[in-house]
A and B are shown apart, each in its own frame.
Chain A
Amino acid sequence: MKKKRGLLLAAIITGSILLLSGCGGGDKKGGASGDKKVLNIYSWADYYAPEVIADFEKKYNCKVTYDVYSNNEELLAKMQAGGAQFDIIQPSDYMVTTMIKLDMLEKLDKSKLPNAANITKDLQHPAYDPNEDYSLAYVWGITGIVYNQKFVKEAPTSWADLWKPEYKGHVILLNDCREAFSFALKKNGWSNNSTDPAQVGKAFQDLKALNSNVLAYDTENIKQKFIAEEAWIGQMWSGDAAYCYTDNKNINFVVPKEGSLIWADNMAIPKGCKNKDLALAFINYMYDPDVSAKNFNYIRVPNPNEKAWPKMNAATLNNPMLKVGNASIKKGEWLHDIGNAISMYDKYWTELKTGK
């Protein structure tokens, strides 16, 4: 009995040593003899169709790894700490500005990106990187009013419609400080980047008054609440509205006349990237109309690639919510870093959410 146990133990130990060395050796071999380059992507979850990445690996005889983060600050921290050797990163609009300021992005060599011209004109000169020197819009969205036609008989046109007393207890707002203040400022005709204490104060008073109508501040479950018709009217991103529409045809979406908040997640190459050519090839590949159509049919979010639109499948193409989004790009205002004024927003935001 004892001997058997000893044998087992010895087997476990040798086995694990073999595995350990085997794994290490395998990695090295892959690097040296196969000469297969590795492209490391650091992005948001579910931003690529697996098929599209597999095709790229075949075409360029390389391996693509895809790791995910869940907010821009996480991306910034990881890149600043160093040590993470990513070749492609996907910062949002305001984070592109921050990263350019911190000299963290490589200038994009446009001669290697002919497909960049496929991006719709309205997204080619975004305020955060006006000449697209460092970034290309990859996914975008605009915040608007989503509503259920069964309960909201009169189509909303203005942010002010959210304050109508008949929607009491059925309004959902995004659980995000800048998003909330954005529409309250827009309602009053101001910029959603306002740092004027009087304007932000008025926006706070308006939001406080709106609290009695609000069912929840929710970003994670907002789609479910609209599909299940718990919520009648609220604030939503164009892509999410399209998602809701596929499950519930009573859903409609409008970008109010006062304008709204527009955002984009971008393709960018971090400074010091070791595979710059491969990274550029990847970016160019992703803007190929056929590739892009295949990719966005899968990930189902608004595509800035105009040339890919006609190639997308009917369900995506004919989704009226996406059409509303595409037609409203010009109404959008990009958020930018407002510096210390953010503490004023934060203070009001806390009061808003706890004072209920």
Chain B
Amino acid sequence: MQKTWRSSVLLAYSLAVLAFLYLPLIILALYSFNDSRINAVWSGFTFKWYQALFQNTRVLEALTNTLIIGFFSTIISTALGTTAAIALHRYHYKFKTVINGLVYLPILIPEIVMGLSLLVLFSQAHLPLGKPTLILAHITFCVSFVVITVGARMEGMRNDLEQAASDLYATPWQTFRYITLPLIMPGIIAGALIAFTLSIDDFVISFFVAGPNSTTLPLYIYAMVKRGISPEINALSTLMMCATVSMVVLAEILQPRHHHRSQEE
């Protein structure tokens, strides 16, 4: 008896927390299908805001910028992050813990501080602000997340396979290429997906380092809200939300539950 009472309280509490987290997002998405320009009144179902969105050259430009920046920062940060993760997990050298800490630091530093310091750096170095500075900035914070994701994969992996390869006269490159890389591939792809998600969602850091011809979607949404919230903004936010959620889900699927896997392998 007491058990059911307890579990129903727990259930209600959990539902309340979930509602608190997701209700605003659901309402935002719902109103993107509202026929009226006014958020407060529901007057019918429509796709017209989505249509308007895809005819809006400004939105499409911002989308292109976002995708270009996301693509390059993902490729570069994934390459850098993967090699860093391997170095951190497979080798032993001086100051390893310090370097390890430095890799994680960008995650802990307040975004606003990072944005500001990058802006100062770029202007001191006389780098003109624009897409290249945005890509550099995005790589800076994406690398840490790739290191963590790939690192998690490596942590759950014993190195007996690699040792076996070496025993069978594989060169270090062959070992890396045919053993290590395929084993950590799910981690790398998950890391890349997270990097891409972070890049397309970033507002604060982009805000500081954007220049001509580099307005991204989050920056554009922010500037649009100044003129009042329209259903077009709801539609755009809903699409961004869907893109983010699907990528995070994909990354989560690819991310190994390493306790099971390491035993299987």
Contact = CB atoms under 8 A, between A and B. Distances in A.
A351 B68 CA distance: 46
A230 interface: yes
A221 B229 contact: yes
B120 interface: yes
Contacts of A222: 228
A247 to B, nearest CB: 6
B40 A83 contact: no
Contacts of B7: none
A227 interface: yes
Interface in B230-259: none
A70 interface: yes
Contacts, number: 103
Given A84-B129, A221-B228, A247 B38 contact: yes
Contacts of B123: 81-83
Contact of B220 (A68, A83, A220, A247): A68
Nearest to A68: B223
A20 B72 contact: yes
Contacts of B58: 45-46, 50, 66
A2 B40 contact: no
B211 A224 contact: no
A46 B224 CA distance: 7
B228 A240 contact: yes
A223 B228 CA distance: 8
B127 A83 contact: yes
A282 to B, nearest CB: 14
Interface string B57-92: 110010000001001100100000000000000000
Closest 4 CB pairs of A and B: A40-B212, A65-B213, A45-B223, A68-B223
22 contacts: A2-B182, A5-B182, A19-B71, A20-B72, A38-B212, A44-B223, A45-B220, A46-B224, A46-B227, A50-B57, A67-B212, A71-B226, A83-B119, A83-B127, A85-B128, A86-B212, A220-B228, A223-B38, A224-B39, A224-B40, A228-B41, A247-B38
Given A5-B185, A50-B58, A228-B41, 13 more contacts: A16-B75, A40-B212, A44-B226, A46-B227, A50-B57, A65-B212, A66-B215, A70-B223, A84-B128, A220-B229, A223-B228, A224-B39, A224-B40
Interface of A: 2, 5-6, 9, 16, 19-20, 23, 38, 40, 42, 44-46, 50, 65-71, 74, 78, 81-86, 220-225, 227-228, 230, 240, 247
